[in-house]
Amino acid sequence: MIFDARRPVLITGGAGFIGANLAHRLLSDGQPVLVYDNLSRTGVADNLAWLRERHGAHMEVQVADVRDSLLLRRAVKRSCRVFHMAAQVAVTTSLSDPIQDFEVNARGTLNLLEAIRAVPEPPPLLYTSSGKIYGALAGLELDNTEGRYLPKNPQARAAGVAESHPLDFHSPYGCSKGAADQYVLDYARMYQLPAVVFRLGSVYGPHQRGTEDQGWVAHFLLRALRGEPITIYGDGRQVRDVLHVDDLIEAMCRAQVKLARVAGRAFNVGGGVDNALSLRDLLDVIRRLHGSVPEVRFGPWRLADQRYYVADIAALVEAAGWRPRISAEQGVRELYDSMRETFGERRGPVRTVHAPAQVAARS
């Protein structure tokens, strides 16, 4: 998809998991791309090397931070569109260093908005927010049924969490992403910037380096391949809708094409109810793929963890004509095969440790 063959698309955080996959899609279509990334996260240098190997002649790289307003302004001034993905991405990290979390997520986004506002013809902006800004989803009563949490409300169970659900910022991460989310929407309203917000849930796919703090699907698969134990915080009945990164990128591209219909709006973007998995469900998928699961340990619930978050994607389906194509089963299988080739496979002793009584009792 070529937006402007003369000027690059700016992707902040362009060497990260989602950014690298988006850059690959655009570059493959012939669109010049400017990757703007400080390369601070583990694995992003490898992603950048992968992009350079395939698209070096058509890709520019600016090793810089979104907290550097001067360099950011220069990058924006040259760009035809902006995808803003640079972020501090973990709740746990925000709890240990809330100031850095704010500076990157909130102030960095404000720097970008000011850079866009300074351009005579502001480039369209797509900002990747988070479903975490809904907090613990107060008022969404849950049943514990069939080994997973599900809403008692029939409409919420059938469709998921809609954009009309009240925002409730939990954790410094929730506050910083929520502030950035609202700033983008307000700049669209006050300054008529052509901007749209995507509130993401659990995105997974190639070039993701999952950890305990972020990217749980890739983290579980990597642990299984390495024969290392998996720690579940809580009881494992937490439910998330998983979205393959290729489907997310298709949604982003369609939103740009349908900009007149989506500008100034926020959309919950995920796999929807058809691609909802509990943590225990993913362990069952791993057992089918891998033949076994590694040792599973249980720890206490973590602060700000949502027992249920599934995105109601109806608004984006209606506005952009998009819906996920890759099922959770297919996408996880493809990611498992890819990771097995990349990281190898080690099979160690397998032992499943069931949730202790005091943890299970809280479900």
- Confidence grade of residue 14 (pLDDT, cut at 50, 70, 90): very high
Q: How far is CA 359 from the centre of its chain?
A: 28
CB distance 174 to 181 below 8 Å = no
pLDDT at residue 345 tops 80: no
What is the four-CA torsion angle of 321, 334, 83, 106, rounded to 10 degrees?
A: 110
Please report the pLDDT score of residue 42 as a whole number.
85
pLDDT tens digits, residue range 65-117? 999 999 999 999 999 999 999 999 999 999 999 999 999 999 999 999 999 99
Q: What pLDDT is stored for residue 58 in this prediction?
A: 86
Residues designated catalytic: 173
What is the percent of the chain where pLDDT is above 70? Answer: 94
Query: Could you tell me the CA-to-CA distances from 268 to 26, 33, 248, 315 in Å, in that order?
Result: 23, 26, 11, 8
Q: What architecture does CATH give domain 87-360?
A: 3-Layer(aba) Sandwich (3.40)
The pLDDT assigned to 350 comes to 38
- Band (pLDDT 50/70/90 cuts) for residue 344 is low
Reported confidence tier of residue 209, pLDDT bands at 50, 70, 90: confident
Domain ranges (residues) in the chain: 87-360
Q: Is residue 356 over pLDDT 50?
A: no
pLDDT higher than 50, residue 191:
yes
Is the pTM here over 0.75, yes or no? yes
pLDDT at 217 over 60: yes
